[in-house]
Amino acid sequence: MSVIIPVLHEGAGINALIEHVRSQEAPVPVEIIVVDGGGGDTIQAIDSEDIVKIQSGRGRGLQMNRGAAVARGDILLFLHADTFLPEGGIRKIVDVLSQERYVGGAFDLGIDSDHWFVKATEKVGTIRSRITRLPYGDQAIFIRKEFFDTIGRYKHIPLMEDVDLMQRVKKGGGTIRFIPDRVRTSARRWENEGPFFGTFRNWLLISLYFLGVPPDRLARFYPADVPPGRDSGASRS
C-alpha cells in the first residue's frame, strides 16, 4: 500500500501524521509519500529518512498524481494532511480490497469539533456521501492503483478533484465500499470562518458544480489557504 499525502505548509504537523500512519496495524507493507506543493518547507521538516519526498507544483490533484506516479503499492490511500485514520484503518482498507468486487472506497466523515452545527454537518456529510456514492477527499479515499490509472487519475482542476474522480469511478463501472468508521479531520477552517458560513458556502459550491459551473470559477470563492499549521483543506460536506 502507498499512502500519498499532499501538503501545503504543513511542517508543524507532518511528523505527527507520519507517526500516526506508522502506528496503524498493517497486514501489507506500507510506503508513505509526501508531495509538497508549498516550496519544500514541509518535506524539509520531516524527521524520517525512509519517507518518499516529492516537491511538486501546487494543486492537490497534481500533487496526488505525482505521488501515485512513483507509488509501488497496489493500493493507493490519499490522505489529507489534516486527516487522521480510525484505529485499524489500514487493515480495514486491505480487508475491503481483498474482495474483488470493490475498486476502492472511503471512511465516514469525522470532524474534530464539539460544536453542535459542525457535528450535524459531519452526519449530513456521511449520509450524503453514502447516498451519492461520492465521498470527499477528507474521508480518506482509497483505490486500486490499476483502476486509478485506467480512469485517468485526478484531473488538474483547482477544486472538486475528489468529486470528479469518484464520478469517473462510477462511470467506469467501479464499485466502492464505505467503511463505517470515522476519520478525524481538522475543524480549523470552520473555527476560522465560522461554522455556518463555511458550511453553507461549501454546500453552495458543490450545488453549483453539479449544475455545471466550472471548478476554476468556483475556486474563486473557496479560500486556498488557511493560517499555517495542521490544516490545508476542509470538508465540503
Read off the pLDDT of each residue in 161-167 and give the average, rounded to a whole number. Answer: 97
Per-residue pLDDT at 138 = 94
Residue 229 belongs to a domain: no
> Residues 90-108: pLDDT tens digits?
999 999 999 999 999 999 9
Rounded to two decimals, the pTM is 0.92
pLDDT band at 237 (very low <50, low <70, confident <90, very high): low
Full residue range of the structural domain in which residue 60 is found? 2-221
Residue 10 belongs to a domain: yes
pLDDT at 235 over 80: no
Per-residue pLDDT at 223 = 72
Residue 233 belongs to a domain: no
C-alpha 142/C-alpha 96 separation (Å) is: 10
List the strands of the sheet with 75-78, edge to edge: 52-55, 31-36, 2-7, 75-78, 142-144, 104-108, 176-182
Residue 162 belongs to a domain: yes
What percent of the chain stands above pLDDT 70?
Answer: 94
Read off the pLDDT of each residue in 96-124 and give the average, rounded to a whole number. Answer: 96
Per-residue pLDDT at 33 = 98
pLDDT at 236 over 80: no
Residue 237 belongs to a domain: no
C-alpha 196/C-alpha 2 separation (Å) is: 36
pLDDT at 186 over 70: yes
Read off the pLDDT of each residue in 209-213 and give the average, rounded to a whole number. Answer: 96
pLDDT at 113 over 80: yes
- CATH value at residue 143: 3.90.550.10
pLDDT at 229 over 50: no
C-alpha 178/C-alpha 158 separation (Å) is: 26
Residue 236 belongs to a domain: no
pLDDT at 201 over 50: yes
Residue 226 belongs to a domain: no
SS3 sequence of the chain: CEEEEEECCCCCCHHHHHHHHHCCCCCCCCEEEEEECCCCHHHHCCCCCCCEEEECCCCHHHHHHHHHHHCCCCEEEECCCCEECCCCHHHHHHHHHCCCCCCEEEEECCECCCCHHHHHHHHHHHHHHHHHCCCCHHHCCEEEHHHHHHCCCCCCCCCCHHHHHHHHHHHCCCCEEEEEEECEECCHHHHHHCHHHHHHHHHHHHHHHHCCCCHHHHHHHCCCCCCCCCCCCCCCC
Number of domains in the chain: 1
Per-residue pLDDT at 194 = 87
pLDDT at 183 over 50: yes
pLDDT band at 225 (very low <50, low <70, confident <90, very high): low
Residue 228 belongs to a domain: no
C-alpha 147/C-alpha 140 separation (Å) is: 17
